[in-house]
Structure 1
Amino acid sequence: MTDLLTIILLGIVEGVTEFLPVSSTGHLILAGALLGFKDEASGTFEIVIQLGAILSVIVLYWRRFWDVFVGLGRRDPRAIAFTRNVALAFLPSAVIGLIVYKMVKAMLESPMTVAVALVVGGIAILVIERLVRAPKVTNVEQMSWKVALGIGIIQCLAMVPGVSRSGATIMGALGLGVDRKTAAEFSFFLAVPTMLAASAYDLYKNAESIGSDGWLAIAIGFVVSFVVALLVIRWFLGIVTRHGFTPFAWYRIVAGGVAIVWLSQL
């Protein structure tokens, strides 16, 4: 598919950006364009290596997931509420994703779409951060089904590369009265079924076109993104707790602006 250094660099990009509100897919597309990474399997690579970062959530929050699993067996109300909220938030992207799959895959080939979405998304974060009121929800179990479903609907905006799945989820949660830390953690939990489903469906549609080199690249990218994401998640929660999401908004605007200028000259 491509050389080892490029694969490792893309794995690092994925691990760093997956849970930040800056769009990991968008960064992979821009990095791929910069590194000359483009073939028939690159779109699948950009989607599937995200599973490495998702695995880091399962590892870091294994006790939380285990407690929910055990609690479901005991019919614990908190475990039921957690599962209900994640399932409801996942549902819209599962349904709409199947409908617009081909359109989304086509947009993965447009770096300019990513660059513009980065800038627009950054501005949106700045606006939402100014308008957000005192939170009413301080943990995932406390969310109502309407809030969870609303977050899931807003997450669908992230099907446009550059919007950011975590960014849409977090900003949607803030707008619906969820506090920053809970919004960030809910985006982690929601990423698990969302990216598992997206990766499984993409592999189902494109497995035959990947080839042995492609599978090796995916495996390496998976491992690298997993290790890097393990280091990033705790750091991200610390930044969010102390400074909010404004630093990431300005990063998006600057990075997107630079990308627009660069792409315009190609």
Structure 2
Amino acid sequence: MIETAEHDGIAVLTLHHGPVNALDLELLTAVPEALAAVAEARAVVLTGSGRSFSAGVDLKRIADGGPRYVEKFLPALHLATLTLFEHPRPVVAAVNGHALAGGCVLAAACDLRLMSGGTIGLTELAAGVPFPTVPLEIMRHAVGPALDALVLDPGRLTPDQAAAIGLVHELVEPDRLLTAALRRAEGLCVAPADVYALAKRQLRRPARERMDAARPSDDPEVLKLWSSERTGRTLRDYLASLRRSK
């Protein structure tokens, strides 16, 4: 589900879960476990297998699983993205293909983002589901004022468009992506580990404070909307439209 390799003390985590690395309960549960297993690595590179980094949440599982599945899924989504966002060591995303919705959030949770192809963006509203608080604040930290347009006008950005708003830091040819990501990760290891970890905590403190303030009021409403019968119908219609457009 998540393959781990080591390059001179840098851990490479590769999402390997179905054709597009869709985020389901099992993959999200595996993310914090994989990060804990490489806690002593000098840095982490996160990438995907196949043609996608991650095409986002497995919407069919949401539609079919109903409230019982969503009640487990949303906390797992929060924990996976927050654990990646707050990992104390340097984390570089090597975005090898499409990074959509939750996949975009996973990339945004990393310290630096390199991209070699595909599209990236937030498609939650197009699919008819609200934005959970933790992913929203991670995205706000990553792109700042560009967030409103990303959320409210859901579309897919090309790598060039993503770089223009700071969502991607470097564009790389596919055959150079991993090498470039390892190089950037190595560059982030210049500072002592405790110094780097403190800087990350300081930089992420406003985002964490917004999460903590918003979640008690926002999360019940998010859960209710994700679990509703209307959302199930909307997701099925959205998935059908995607199939027709292929």
TM-score > 0.5 by shorter chain: no
When the two structures are superposed, what TM-score results if normalisation uses the length of structure 1? 0.29
Say which structure is richer in strand. Answer: 2
When the two structures are superposed, what TM-score results if normalisation uses the length of structure 2? 0.31
Say which structure is richer in helix. Answer: 1
Q: Which structure: larger Rg?
A: 1
